[in-house]
Amino acid sequence: MSEHRKKILLAVFGLLMLAYAGDRLWSVVMEPIQTLRQRRQSLEREINNRTTELAQARKAAKALAAWERQSLPSDPQMARSVYQAWLLELVGRVGLGNPIVDSTQPSARNGYASITFSLQARGSLDKWIRLLYEFYRAGHLHQIRSLSITPIGKTDQLDMAVAIEALVLPGADRADRLSQETVDRLAFARLEDYQPILRRNLFSISPSKTADPTDQAFLTAINHVNGVPEAWFTLRGETNPDQAVVKLRVGQSFTVGQFTGKVAEIAEDDVVFQAGDERWLVGIGESLGQAFALPPEF
């Protein structure tokens, strides 16, 4: 074999050995790196899970702290007594009559106690609206479980029976008094915003005698006259055909019964009235009595 051929073979052999050694070296280096990378990814997932769990725990702790501030007093028997007294005071404050308030013994649950209260009273719808408004603004850990309503003869009086559940948490910061907090869990902040309920009184015995004129004023069409939108209201109680339809444009005022408002907006299917500081929305096919009070931000 020639010397030149030997050199070529030795070179090829050397390259093969180098490639083999490089491959071995690569596996020796890369396998630990790959293992470390997988371990790091596993630790990152674990950290993310722990972070999520910690965030959930903090959220739960915050909620628990809020519930403890709203809880009835930590002494269950004292809680039963002072809450029952609060219900009687509330009934008297809103003007309801014939009140009967009763309660059950505290029932131990999983880490807290539950007390059921029953309330019976008589009064007009506006007084019941005020009671429910005050009930849901009070910062107590309570809820209405059931409510039954019985109209009284040919009067505006309603008999109601209400079942209430209230909770006692052992971590409450009070042992003998109720929370003084108020809470924001109602759709509207002011009692006045719930007055449309009175106009829609479902318990009226003689609607023909006591009907609110706003219940007879229906938005029946929105038309464009010479490019200007007009809201057409039909007054169903109006006997004069010439006055049975009222056509309004933006900026015009409209008075029906106790309602007076100015047309603020006319859209494709509804109209917005401005009445004092309030804005009321009524859609086609609805009466003014069914108008919806818009929140301040709208």
| Band of pLDDT at residue 13, cut at 50, 70 and 90 | low
Residue among 208, 197, 202, 170 at smallest CA distance from 289: 197
Does residue 57 register a pLDDT over 70? no
Tokens 């309660």 locate to 103
Average pLDDT, rounded, for the chain? 80
Q: pTM higher than 0.75 for the full model? A: no
Strand partners, 100: 120
Q: What is the DSSP code (8-state) at residue 138?
A: B
The C-alpha angle 41, 43, 48, rounded to 5 degrees, equals 95
Q: Who contacts 41 (Cβ-Cβ below 8 Å, separation ≥6)?
A: none
Residue among 117, 185, 178 at smallest CA distance from 145: 117
Mean per-residue pLDDT, 73-90: 92
Tokens 């005020």 locate to 130
- The CATH number corresponding to 76-188 among 3.40.50.970, 3.30.70.60, 3.40.50.300, 3.30.200.20 equals 3.30.70.60
Identify residue 296 by its one-letter amino acid code.
P
Mean per-residue pLDDT, 79-107: 92
Torsion of CA 241, 243, 244, 247, to 10 degrees: 130
Does residue 25 register a pLDDT over 70? no
Does residue 197 register a pLDDT over 90? no
Mean per-residue pLDDT, 132-159: 87
Identify residue 58 by its one-letter amino acid code.
R
Query: For residue 121, how far is the Cα from the chain centroid?
Result: 27
Token readout for 122 is: 């008589």
Assigned fold of 211-293: SH3 type barrels. (2.30.30)
Q: Residue 156 in contact with residue 121, Cβ under 8 Å?
A: no
Q: For residues 129 and 195, give the distance between their C-alpha atoms in angstroms, rounded to a whole number.
A: 9
Q: For residues 167 and 150, give the distance between their C-alpha atoms in angstroms, rounded to a whole number.
A: 28
pLDDT number for residue 209: 45
| Band of pLDDT at residue 187, cut at 50, 70 and 90 | confident
Phi-psi region of 172 (alpha: psi -120 to 50; beta: other; left: phi over 0): beta
pLDDT number for residue 114: 92
Q: Between 235 and 1, whose confidence is greater?
A: 235
Q: Reading across the β-sheet that carries 270-275, which strands appear in turn? A: 253-256, 259-266, 270-275, 278-283, 292-293
Q: Residue 268 in contact with residue 254, Cβ under 8 Å?
A: no
pLDDT number for residue 58: 66
Token readout for 246 is: 């009222």
Per-residue pLDDT reduced to its tens digit, 245-257: 899 999 999 998 8
Per-residue pLDDT reduced to its tens digit, 263-277: 999 998 899 999 888
Integer distance in angstroms from the first to the last C-alpha of the chain?
Answer: 99
Strand partners, 293: 280
